[in-house]
Structure 1
Amino acid sequence: MAKKIFVIVMLAVFLALFGFAHSWLGSSLEDQKRLEEIGVALDAELVEIAQSRSNKSTTYAPVVAYQVEGKSYRLASSLFTNDEAPFPANIGEKMPIKYNPQNPEEATFVGEYGAYLHNSTEIMLLVVKVMMGIVVFIFLFFIFKFIRTILF
């Protein structure tokens, strides 16, 4: 009995985590789309290529700088990718972005890299939805099994 309750609680925790990931990815995608619609286009300068290393590989993410009304801002990609990602390889090159005219700190990548980010986010969202469906199915299976053992 305690084992079944533990399994149900663990499944509920996984469901909550997948729900959080779904919510975060969904809002990130909505923000990206909103900025693409209302944003002001600008060519930002690639100032850094951030690296993240693990045992197996190194991934990269662009960091750009831009100015609006004399104030400097930076935009770092939240998605680290392999070296085949479509962003410039040389510091100083330009990358298209769009920023919120009401809040210039809020910006997103557009163009080829923006499409890459957008598609990657949609794919991650789809994977999370599929995993949520699987966890919900397993969760309901164990709930019904648990209820059946209590009632019969």
Structure 2
Amino acid sequence: MRSFPDRVRHTVLFEVLGLALVIPGGAMLFNLPATHMGVIGVGSATVATLWNFVYNLGFDHAMLRLIGHTRKSLALRVLHALLFEGGLLVLLLPPMAWYLGMGLWQTFVMDLAIVVFYVVYAFLFNLAYDRVFPIPTVPQMAAA
């Protein structure tokens, strides 16, 4: 399993790179002032950072309990990314609608584009992160 410092590094890198991509891209795509997209981006990143830490820790513990390890297959990576983004959508939709003065449905449709971006981004980022910073293996204890 990953260490606490490794999880912090993972979370910070994920959010900083994500913001660098989503703020200017979202402002252009949704024709919003960059300041509005910045507030949405930073607010969402703050919530996502906390959710990322809690979600990944819980997911790893569930994997350990259910299958005895934390190695993710391609299918499990896809499920991991989809469940993460679904939970984040539930957390973010109401405050985003309020801030932008939009209805929930309108905000949901707008947020779908951001969710699609982050599903792909999360998958690629985590795949790259695992290759750059592999999960340490715990040596098997020899039977006495």
Q: TM-score of the superposition, structure 1-length normalised?
A: 0.29
Give the structure with the higher percent helix.
2
Give the structure with the higher percent strand.
1
Q: TM-score of the superposition, structure 2-length normalised?
A: 0.30
Larger Rg: 1
